[in-house]
Amino acid sequence: MSDQDVAPVPERDLGEISSPHHHETVAPGVPVRDVTDGGPEMVQFLDADGKRVSRGNCEPYEPILEGLDPETMRSLYRDLVLVRRVDAEGHALQRQGELGLWPSLLGQEAAQVGAGRAMSTQDYAFPGYREHGVAWCKGVPPLNLLGMFRGVNHGGWDSNANNFHLYTIVIGNQMLHATGYAMGVQRDGAVGTGDPSRDTAVMAFTGDGGTAQGDYNEALVFASVAHAPVVFFVQNNQWAISEPNERQFRVPPYQRAKGFGFPGVRVDGNDVLAVYAVTKHALDEARSGQGPTLIEAFTYRMGAHTTSDDPTKYRVSAEVDLWREKDPIKRMRSHLEREGIADPAFFDGIDAEADALAAEIRTGCQNMPDPELPTMFDKVYAEQHPVIDRERAELIAYHAGFEEGN
Ligand SMILES: Cc1ncc(C[n+]2csc(CCOP(=O)(O)OP(=O)(O)O)c2C)c(N)n1
Ligand SMILES: [Mg+2]
């Protein structure tokens, strides 16, 4: 049965939690989905023009925003630009045959930098596969990510080096890992001690599509009843490959949190200040023993799902154009200019830094040594295993058969 065979489902009145999705038509027969603005509940501090606003239930978050000094504001902008540049290089290197695949974060920089920067050093992140911006904020070298997509490591960094777990391709699976880890943190007594260097929270990242997975829903139940110090961060980029929000849920993720027993907040995912403040608040609550929060960052995937995807096959360019107007970097830049927080020399300096970073990434990627073939067996099990040993020996013997004289 194809999508076209599914009869349209009438909207039913679900009281307070009725779905805010609505449909507009830009041209006959061409629907444009939920391009409104995230609804009245969405927390926003910067509108699309970079003007300072206070939208949604932003009261708990205002003090956090007011505590941000100009230096921090500028460094948030710097992270946005550098992360976009890392992503652009990843994309280009895949196109040039240097990487096997690249999932672009284009458009989601503010969601990831806002969340990543709100985390404390001891907080642990469990990413999906698109969280290059969170990785950057946690101090993971970009070349570690590129190495994974080049296939020269086992996917492939020391999680404990930066408290940034491995990329997880199995959709929603990391929600369970994060919840289990958070329950471990509780048992280590690292929650609610009042010591800011000890109290620890965990962040779990997934997409709108991830919310439809069993793992996601199971994790939220466990986290809720265990009162675990975990923040679930859903980047609603409107698409799960070619499937729109309407195929993932009837009630948006932030409203569903209440049904699991903890608060849910929708934040403008293209507004780095709002994401930072909302995430900081949720992490503080988790660390102090208040339990989980769900954050739905309302954003948009500007590029293809991955370099293997062609989004022109399933979405209209008018939708992409509308979201281009909400660009997260453009709006932060105009905010800094408007408030006199940064001058032209600052912006030029960041651009130059991005150029240098790009060059470093390109050279670093091209110079990565190819691994020795048998090392592919090295990390299948933590310990030595007879079946793996046999398979490794067979592979070595097979390849030796091609050597001269054999
Ligand atoms: C369990 C599982 N089912 C299916 C897939 C194939 N798959 C890869 S990405 C993806 C869509 C995920 O969408 P979303 O959660 O919205 O994240 P996004 O890619 O938009 O960041 C799917 C279905 C998978 N990786 N794992
Ligand atoms: Mg998505």
pLDDT tens-digit readout, 280-338: 999 999 999 999 999 999 999 999 999 999 999 998 888 899 999 999 999 999 999 99
- Facing residues of 244 across strands? 239
Q: CB burial class (10 A; 0-12, 13-18, 19+) of residue 246?
A: middle
Band of residue 223 on the pLDDT scale cut at 50, 70, 90: very high
Q: Which atom number of ligand 1 is nearest to the Cα of residue 211?
A: 15
Residues 87-125: tens digit of each pLDDT: 999 999 999 999 999 999 999 999 999 999 999 999 999
Of 278, 331, 277, 297, the C-alpha closest to 77 is 331
- pLDDT given for residue 36 in this prediction: 56
- Does the beta carbon of 224 lie inside 6 Å of ligand 1? no
- Does the beta carbon of 207 lie inside 6 Å of ligand 1? yes
Q: Which atom number of ligand 1 is nearest to the Cα of residue 108?
A: 21
- pLDDT given for residue 22 in this prediction: 39
- The number of the ligand nearest the C-alpha atom of 167 reads 1
Q: Report the separation in Å between the CA atom of 237 and the middle of ligand 1, taken as the mean of its atom positions.
A: 12
Coil, helix or strand at residue 172: coil
- Quote the crossing angle between the two packed helices 328-338 and 272-287, to the nearest 10°: 100
Strand pairing class (202-207; 124-126): parallel
- Does the beta carbon of 116 lie inside 6 Å of ligand 1? no
- The number of the ligand nearest the C-alpha atom of 105 reads 1
Band of residue 240 on the pLDDT scale cut at 50, 70, 90: very high
Report the nearest-CA residue for atom 13 of ligand 1. Answer: 240
Band of residue 71 on the pLDDT scale cut at 50, 70, 90: very high
pTM for the whole thing?
0.92
Band of residue 10 on the pLDDT scale cut at 50, 70, 90: low
Residues assigned a catalytic role: 301, 305, 314
- Distances 47 to 52, 64, 334 between C-alpha atoms, Å: 7, 18, 10
Domain range annotation of the chain? 3-366, 373-406
How distant is the alpha carbon of residue 15 from its chain centre? 31
Band of residue 20 on the pLDDT scale cut at 50, 70, 90: very low
Residues 330-383: tens digit of each pLDDT: 999 999 999 999 999 999 999 999 999 999 999 999 999 999 988 889 888 989
The DSSP output letter for 165 is: P
- Does the beta carbon of 132 lie inside 6 Å of ligand 1? no
CATH value of 3-366 in 3.40.1280.10, 3.40.50.2000, 3.10.580.10, 3.40.50.970 = 3.40.50.970
| pLDDT averaged over every residue in the chain | 92
Token reading at 168 = 């997880």
Given its phi and psi angles, is residue 265 left (phi above 0), alpha (psi -120 to 50 degrees) or beta?
A: beta
Sign, CA dihedral 256-105-138-172, equals positive
